[in-house]
Amino acid sequence: MADARAWLEITDVPYAPDPAASFERLRHRPGAVLLDSGRPDAPGGRFDILTSDPLVTLTIADGSPVCDPVLPLPSEPFAAQQALLDHAQAALLPSLSAALAERATELPFLGGLLGYWGYPQSATHDPRQPADRQPGPALPDARLGLYDWALIQDHQCQRAFLIATAQRRSQVLTWLQADPPRREIDFQLTRPFTADIDRDGYARRFQKVMDYLQAGDCYQINLAQRFTARFQGSTWQAYRRLRRATPTPFGGYLAWDEKAILSLSPERFIRVVDSQVETRPIKGTRPRGSTTDEDRRLATELEQSAKDRAENIMIVDLLRNDLGRVCRSGSVTVPQLCGLESYANVHHLVSIVRGELAVDASPLDLLAAAFPGGSITGAPKHRAMQIIDELEPSRRSVYCGSLGYLDRRGRMDTSIAIRTVVADDDTLHIWGGGGLVADSEEASEYRETLAKIERLMQALEASDGYENDSQ
């Protein structure tokens, strides 16, 4: 990292509402990542972040961090991430020109860690392998790069900025001006999506959840099912299909070694800016209607549902507790409770919980304390995760983990990796789930798991109008 202390520069570059053209020229580079605000008008949808060629790649597998190139790091995963981020802060922070500091205030990422944290990486994770456990995607628990440059697209201001040293800027501009790579094999499914468990299998697991709820083990348990398909061709084309079908404010694409993550998440997990913390849990869902009147009726039904509001409030209480462990005493508030947000495929109830980090706490402390998100586990979290491990026949992998970044200034923004497809060699995996409470109805909950991902699966199964889309 000999050049890390060179002065950073912020350069205006051409803005585009869709980051595809720029990322098309970067996506084959080592460690290329797109954090994509495919729906800029939604809360949290202001910025796209594109980057590649990390200084260091940190992979965590089976609880052990491995760094490339090798650096001396602690053996505990979150401690290793903090050590790497501290290294970046020490090496990179002095490089920002004072003249540019004010201009950079609103930009979300000026270098730091960026990547994903998979669901299994949790200090409370206590797996109990079910007898019918099925193999899952062979992805590490987490994969994060330490990046010293980024292309930021600001959809609010309709401007784009390249943040890089002069040397990096020259490299990146060359990459962005190059011809796109040669066309790949067009994406298509070679075998359709099939569920890992049949309809009766879901019903049996639902009943076991009801038994646990009635016994007092939990108040709420999130139960998911996985669908698997075979494919060939470009996962980038697949991501473009998904983005077109269900644009969301917390999209993301990263690919390496015949593996890829294609995330179209509507849900923010945790954001930290200047020690101010925000999380936006989703709990409560209805499908979109086929007519304006039906759509309005379904939205109103969701807003007025005592059951869905109760589920949401349970998770709000859980997150208030999670944030309270790391935030300043008395700072945690709930400025929005059960607000309606509508997406291409579903209506959701979304709450907002805010707080202020304690003076001696870091964003990574907060991530470790709250991970994985309560909206996709249940309450109490530890017991709900044990039951999930017992009942779900496949590991969640990246699903219900997080994508996001930790900026070297102490900023952080992460999503909950729902509506997320994981590609492993020639196989795609996608999960649909929902929170179950004592008065849940099995048929309704089963339909909800499908409503959340049907549009994604249909987009990937489509055979017309996409294959000639080279971007």
Mean pLDDT for 432-458 is 95
Q: Is 452 a catalytic residue?
A: no
**Is 9 in contact with 166 (CB distance < 8 Å)?**
yes
Q: Is 307 a catalytic residue?
A: no
What is the reported pLDDT for 87?
Answer: 79
- Strands 8-13, 47-51: pairing is unpaired
Cα(220)–Cα(436) distance, integer angstroms: 5
Instruction: Kindly tell me if the per-residue pLDDT of 120 is higher than 70.
Output: no
- The string of pLDDT tens digits covering residues 132-178 is 667 778 899 999 999 999 999 999 999 999 999 888 999 999 999 98
Domain boundaries, given as residue ranges, for the chain: 8-461
Cα(233)–Cα(87) distance, integer angstroms: 39
What is the reported pLDDT for 373?
Answer: 94
Mean pLDDT of the chain: 90
What is the third-level CATH fold of 8-461?
A: Anthranilate synthase (3.60.120)
Cα(433)–Cα(400) distance, integer angstroms: 10
What is the reported pLDDT for 411?
Answer: 94
Phi-psi region of 465 (alpha: psi -120 to 50; beta: other; left: phi over 0): left
Residue of 102, 106, 258, 267 marked active site = 267
* Residue 173 three-state SS: helix
If residue 454 lies in a helix (H) or strand (E), which one and from where to where? helix 442-461
Residue of 259, 283, 381, 452 marked active site = 283
**Rounded to 5 degrees, what are φ and ψ at 4?**
-65, -25
- The string of pLDDT tens digits covering residues 447-469 is 999 999 999 999 999 874 434 44
